[in-house]
């Protein structure tokens, strides 16, 4: 069940020049009023982050809220958690997400194309799964269909393997985000085998004839084992993803428009909840850091100060 009193916003800001320019003209009146009412939560804010970390700040924040382990970079067990949410017991096994994708190879880059650009429907995804599954099975990895652009995989290999979030590597050079070569020797070999298998496969020939992008690789992410006993939070934060696609594609005009809509919708709703006297939480996440805020009693001096120097988004955005 989504918690209407905790709003967690991924991609709230970016250090990129385009985002900084978009922020100059961005007006978020409801967010500014909300921040003026709330107090920072230092214990739940991640500072000093890096854009090169395998796990994104919003993944860390969401994992904390759900009671999942989040201390180890690249080892938040999202696949095992997803399987549990489906009503299927992870059985203490190590799970991972496997996303079929296209690697675009040039002389100095190997770029991962977004799965949503592949026009991969369920029938095609299941056909591809049947083609590649025997190769994974030989290495002790069992694949299961989950959705067109994402499969589930179980193997002891994923128990302690750190992997980069798919969002970290989209439209970027995959070589900087590959898991440790020694720990993931099997996956590195499978990447090579899949590229050779699919390069001339009839599956891709048929896609090419229809003008569809070929699929020549995969990305593993969300690895790990659920703690025992598995967490069972009563509520999960509301996590709007409307800023995600625009930010990943660096379409900052669309990102600013999405922020405006977000401010008028969920943020305004959280503000009304706060004004009614109900305690609320707000978590803002960038590509490096997380800033968390919550309802807390304030002294008379703090309330007086907030009248003249209210906390606003422009005061905190650069920390993200």
Q: What is the pLDDT at residue 106?
A: 82
Structure token digits, residue 37: 């009412």
Q: What is the pLDDT at residue 44?
A: 58
Nearest alpha carbon to residue 176 among 102, 130, 108: 108
The string of pLDDT tens digits covering residues 233-290 is 877 899 999 999 899 999 999 999 999 999 999 999 999 999 999 999 999 999 989 9
Q: What is the pLDDT at residue 292?
A: 93
Q: Binning pLDDT at 50, 70 and 90, where does residue 47 land?
A: very low
Mean pLDDT, range 101-117, rounded to an integer:
88
Check whether 307 has a pLDDT greater than 60. Answer: no
Check whether 43 has a pLDDT greater than 80. Answer: no
The string of pLDDT tens digits covering residues 218-232 is 999 999 999 888 788
Q: Binning pLDDT at 50, 70 and 90, where does residue 308 land?
A: very low
End-to-end CA distance of the chain: give it in Å, rounded: 28
Q: What is the pLDDT at residue 214?
A: 95
Q: What is the pLDDT at residue 300?
A: 47
Mean pLDDT, range 183-192, rounded to an integer:
94
The most confident of the ranges 13-22, 34-43, 98-107, 124-133 is 124-133
Q: What is the pLDDT at residue 304?
A: 47
Mean pLDDT, range 12-41, rounded to an integer:
92
Q: What is the 3-state secondary structure (H, E, C) of 42-96?
A: HHHCCCCCCCCCCCCHHHHHHHHHHCCCCCCCCCCCHHHHHHHHCCCCCCCCCEE
**Cα→Cα distances 137→49, 133, 289, Å:** 37, 6, 38
194, 217 contact by CB (below 8 A): yes
Query: Which of 299 and 206 is assigned the larger pLDDT?
Result: 206
Q: What is the pLDDT at residue 45?
A: 54
Mean pLDDT, range 295-308, rounded to an integer:
56
Q: What is the pLDDT at residue 46?
A: 54
Mean pLDDT, range 304-311, rounded to an integer:
51
Report the C-alpha gap between 144 and 161 in whole angstroms: 19
Cis peptide before 208 (omega within 30 of 0): no
Q: Binning pLDDT at 50, 70 and 90, where does residue 303 land?
A: low
The average confidence (pLDDT) of the chain is 89
Q: What's the distance, CA 123 to chain centroid?
A: 26
Q: What order of strands is seen across the sheet that includes strand 290-294?
A: 39-40, 290-294, 281-285, 2-9, 236-238
**Cα→Cα distances 153→100, 116, 132, 146, Å:** 12, 20, 12, 10
Q: What is the pLDDT at residue 316?
A: 79
Structure token digits, residue 216: 């020549």
Residues comprising the chain, all counted: 320
| % of the chain with per-residue pLDDT over 70 | 92
């Amino acid at each position: 069940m989504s918690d209407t009193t905790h709003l967690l916003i991924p991609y709230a800001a970016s250090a990129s020049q385009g985002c900084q320019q978009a922020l100059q003209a961005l007006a978020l009146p409801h967010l500014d009023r909300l921040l003026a009412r709330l107090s920072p939560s230092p214990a739940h804010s991640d500072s000093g982050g890096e854009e090169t970390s395998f796990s994104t700040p919003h993944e860390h924040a969401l994992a904390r809220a759900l009671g999942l382990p989040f201390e180890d970079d690249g080892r938040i067990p999202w696949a095992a958690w997803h399987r549990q949410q489906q009503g299927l017991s992870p059985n203490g096994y190590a799970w991972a997400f496997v996303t079929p994708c296209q690697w675009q190879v040039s002389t100095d880059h190997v770029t991962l194309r977004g799965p949503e650009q592949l026009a991969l429907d369920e029938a095609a995804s299941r056909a591809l799964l049947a083609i590649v599954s025997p190769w994974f099975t030989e290495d002790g990895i069992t694949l299961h269909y989950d959705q067109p652009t994402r499969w589930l995989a179980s193997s002891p290999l994923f128990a302690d393997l750190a992997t980069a979030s798919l969002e970290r590597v989209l439209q970027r050079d995959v070589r900087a985000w590959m898991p440790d070569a020694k720990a993931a020797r099997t996956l590195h070999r499978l990447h090579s085998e899949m590229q050779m298998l699919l390069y001339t496969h009839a599956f891709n020939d048929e896609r090419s004839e229809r003008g569809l992008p070929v699929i020549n690789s995969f990305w593993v992410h969300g690895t790990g084992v659920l703690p025992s006993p598995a967490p069972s939070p009563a509520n999960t934060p509301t996590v709007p993803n409307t800023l995600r696609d625009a930010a990943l594609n660096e379409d900052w005009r669309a990102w600013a428009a999405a922020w405006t809509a977000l401010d008028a919708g969920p943020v305004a709703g959280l503000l009304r909840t706060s004004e009614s006297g109900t305690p609320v939480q707000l978590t803002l996440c960038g590509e490096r850091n997380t800033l968390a805020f919550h309802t807390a009693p304030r002294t008379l001096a703090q309330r007086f100060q907030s009248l003249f120097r209210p906390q606003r988004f422009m005061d905190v955005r650069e920390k993200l």
